[in-house]
Chain A
């Protein structure tokens, strides 16, 4: 970052403050997800260290919930990892959008890549009209979310450990509710709702006949089918 002129224009000052304030707000909001992830992680059989490592190393919420969900349901490590990575595929498209906006190179790209998630993409695109604003939006949101997400994961994991048996506290119902809450805002088109119903149906139909973990992976086929039959008018 090169130091700006000593008398920064007041519009930029205002904008900078508003970007940082929004970034902190987004960070606090994702902290709530982090608390749930921490509690669900230890309820799903991960240690506190494993739960926290997941948040630091994967740092993409839906994939983390999927990893824990499939492991807890006895789906095995390979199925859990495949499901988690498939859920992370959308981050590649976010990166594609962000690469021209941020033009990251070297160490900034190594660190910045980890921060390519829903929240940073939305904030960066929201400020794409100004190069300083969109860079600040990306980094401030990334730092705020990374910090609060990982802190909240630790707190949630410790609280989850203190709670004890997940069945007693209904944490086994919290896991599917978390998936539904993550799904809910994506059901904004009829097409998305059909994909959701189809995928749920495929997964439930396969549950009695194939090993745990595979029904969810098979449901990804519904998404591929929806993608391949894509038509302009049908979005």
Chain B
């Protein structure tokens, strides 16, 4: 199942890259297509971040992940690099669990 997902995603992603290099510019170069393509990563990344922060199966919960992500947001506001943001979030969540707070 995992290999199928990897191969299908890889094929799809490569096809999109190839498509862009191959089709005439007029086909995709329309304001609404551009606006949708620009909004897609924003919508999907925001949805992924929200779901992975709060979802636990079919329920929504507040646990150590929320504190971890909040710490990550602080790191982002301080213009920390990617790896620092991710590490701060992980260490905050792990630390809270270790002391039994969340």
Contacts and interface: CB of A to CB of B under 8 A. Distances in A.
B62 interface: no
Please report whether the interface of chain B is mostly helix, strand, loop or mixed according to DSSP: helix
A212 B6 CA distance: 18
A161 to B, nearest CB: 16
Interface in A170-200: 170-184, 186-187, 191-192, 195-200
A172 B41 contact: no
Contacts of B49: 176-177, 179-180, 183, 200
Nearest to A227: B36
B20 A96 contact: yes
Interface residues of B, number: 76
A89 B53 CA distance: 25
Q: Which 7 pairs, one residue from A and one from B, show the smallest C-beta to C-beta distance? A: A95-B20, A227-B36, A173-B68, A177-B89, A170-B93, A219-B47, A85-B12
26 contacts: A46-B2, A58-B9, A62-B44, A62-B45, A67-B5, A67-B6, A69-B48, A77-B5, A81-B8, A83-B44, A84-B12, A89-B16, A92-B16, A95-B20, A174-B86, A176-B50, A181-B85, A181-B86, A200-B50, A207-B54, A212-B55, A215-B55, A223-B43, A224-B39, A227-B37, A230-B36
Given A112-B21, A177-B86, A216-B51, 4 more contacts: A173-B93, A186-B42, A192-B38, A227-B38
